[in-house]
Amino acid sequence: MTRPARALIDAHALRHNLNRVRQAAPNAKVMAVVKANAYGHGLVRVARILLGANAFAVASFEEGLALRNAGVAHPICLLEGFFDAEELALLNHYRFMPVLHHESQLLQLEHSQDSSPIDVWLKVDTGMHRIGFAPEMAAQMRKRLEACPQVQRIRMMSHFANADDTADMTTQQQIDRFKSLVNGWGLEGSLANSAGVLGWPQSHVDWVRPGIMLYGVSPLLGKTAAELELQPVMTLSSRLIAVNRHRKGERVGYGGEWVCPEDMPVGVVAVGYGDGYPRHAPSHTPVLVNDERVSLIGRVSMDMITVDLRTQASAKVGDPVVLWGTGLSVEEVAEHAGTIGYELLARLPQRVPRVEIN
Ligand SMILES: *Cc1c(COP(=O)(O)O)cnc(C)c1O
């Protein structure tokens, strides 16, 4: 038997979630965001399952290259653009579409000798204040791009800062700024991340850019994935590798943080922070053993966690454990650990085998 920690990747759920995007944004083209190893799910595997998308978006040239090397022919958008002249020179060859967000990139493009024409996304900062040109600069940047022989087609992009909160009207201001800027330009545009897709239909315009919802995680505050009809794609699972009885007053794990309140059975699961389980998850974080909730107890180790089996008198070595996924949302686990589902998924390390199901 090999070490049982596994990330099950549910292909059917992934396709279902893409259909949810189509249903919510029926008139938009879909750029599926697969950066960060497809939020930990496996870049190439996810792209092959999501061939129904119109394009893919990644954060780096290397991620785009991995897709091309796997035979993915879709348009690929580089969300941070190119990072040096070497990448710039290869954009046309690989048919990558960079996001242009800073004048330094424009200057490189204008001065490049060897680049053949490419499609670009001009990024406008409508209120996120991370990357992008101020709206009052955008018209000028567009003119420069139009004058640039290295540029074929220009599209417009902006990104939301707080669309997960559907009561925050700054998102509406961002939408208004974007629309009033590009109004009459006759260029395609893209604003909506997952929260935009589900919470802000007026933001869909020509292209939507869902990430987290494709993986079955709720992008909206106060709404569960189930309420939004999303299905979890990754189930992080393992097995009990020991069940031990400890006496009242005995301490469990590093630092002895958990003190047994009575004589009790303690299960040991082969999963730890070396597998991406959050080290800061406190005692009482839920874990599923035999499909039933039990509590994490004591500190998370690199390769193991311990769980309270007082409600599972017959639990034994080899019994199945779910850390998150089907039956226990990653959002809930993340909340216990003081983080978000995005981080837990994206940090899943290489050593956890991904196994495709369905
Ligand atoms: C990551 C990212 C997305 C996807 O965001 P989700 O919240 O995961 O849907 C969309 N657009 C840009 C520019 C991004 O960086």
The owner of tokens 């998850």 is 281
Asked whether 81 lines ligand 1 (CB < 6 A), one says no
Asked whether 6 lines ligand 1 (CB < 6 A), one says no
Alpha carbon distance 3, 270 (integer Å): 7
The CATH number given to whatever domain includes residue 130 is 3.20.20.10
20 shares its domain with 134: yes
For ligand 1, the distance from its centroid to the CA atom of residue 348, given in whole angstroms, is 18
Summarize pLDDT for 246-257 with one digit per residue, the tens: 999 999 999 999
Alpha carbon distance 215, 105 (integer Å): 32
CA 302 to chain centre: 24
Summarize pLDDT for 155-214 with one digit per residue, the tens: 999 999 999 999 999 999 999 999 999 999 999 999 999 999 999 999 999 999 999 999
- The answer to whether residue 4 sits within a structural domain is no
Which atom number of ligand 1 is nearest to the Cα of residue 212? Answer: 8
pLDDT band (50, 70, 90) for residue 271? very high
Mutating to test ligand 1, I would choose from 209, 213, 217, 223 the residue with most ligand atoms within 8 A of its C-beta, which is: 209
The owner of tokens 């837990």 is 344
Mean pLDDT of the 281-295 span: 98
203 shares its domain with 56: yes
**Nearest protein CA to atom 15 of ligand 1, as residue:** 79
251 shares its domain with 145: no
Of 47-56, 71-80, 106-115, give the lowest mean pLDDT range. Answer: 106-115
**Nearest protein CA to atom 10 of ligand 1, as residue:** 193
87 shares its domain with 189: yes
Which atom number of ligand 1 is nearest to the Cα of residue 209? Answer: 10
183 shares its domain with 258: no
What burial class does residue 343 get, using C-beta atoms within 10 Å of its C-beta: 0-12 exposed, 13-18 middle, 19+ buried?
middle
For ligand 1, the distance from its centroid to the CA atom of residue 209, given in whole angstroms, is 6
Which atom number of ligand 1 is nearest to the Cα of residue 164? Answer: 7
Contact 64, 43 (CB under 8 A): no
3-class state of residue 124 by DSSP: strand
42 shares its domain with 88: yes
CA atoms within 13 A on the CB side of 47: 27
255 shares its domain with 206: no
For ligand 1, the distance from its centroid to the CA atom of residue 68, given in whole angstroms, is 21
187 shares its domain with 250: no
What burial class does residue 180 get, using C-beta atoms within 10 Å of its C-beta: 0-12 exposed, 13-18 middle, 19+ buried?
exposed
Contact 318, 306 (CB under 8 A): no
- The answer to whether residue 220 sits within a structural domain is no
Summarize pLDDT for 116-163 with one digit per residue, the tens: 899 999 999 999 999 999 999 999 999 999 999 999 999 999 999 999
- Please say which residue of 215, 245, 276 terminates a domain: 215
- The answer to whether residue 17 sits within a structural domain is yes
Contact 160, 151 (CB under 8 A): no
Asked whether 79 lines ligand 1 (CB < 6 A), one says yes
Establish whether 35 is a catalytic residue. yes
Is the dihedral angle over the CA atoms 277, 282, 284, 285 positive or is it negative?
negative
Contact 306, 296 (CB under 8 A): yes
63 shares its domain with 195: yes
- The answer to whether residue 3 sits within a structural domain is no
CA atoms within 13 A on the CB side of 87: 17
Q: Are strands 320-324 and 286-289 parallel, antiparallel or unpaired?
A: antiparallel
Angle at 84 between CA 82 and CA 86, to 5 degrees: 100
46 shares its domain with 186: yes
Domain range enclosing 207: 10-215
Exposure letters 68-83 (e unless 16+ CB within 10 A, then b): eeeebebbbbbbbbbe
Which atom number of ligand 1 is nearest to the Cα of residue 219? Answer: 7
What mean pLDDT is reported for the chain?
97
Alpha carbon distance 191, 205 (integer Å): 7
129 shares its domain with 58: yes
Establish whether 39 is a catalytic residue. no
pLDDT band (50, 70, 90) for residue 10? very high
C-alpha distance from residue 109 to each of 87, 149, 278, 308 (Å): 11, 9, 42, 59
Residue 1 is predicted with a pLDDT of 58
109 shares its domain with 76: yes
Kind and range of the H or E element at 234? strand 234-246
Alpha carbon distance 255, 251 (integer Å): 8
Taken as a whole, the chain contains a residue count of 358
Residue 113 is predicted with a pLDDT of 83
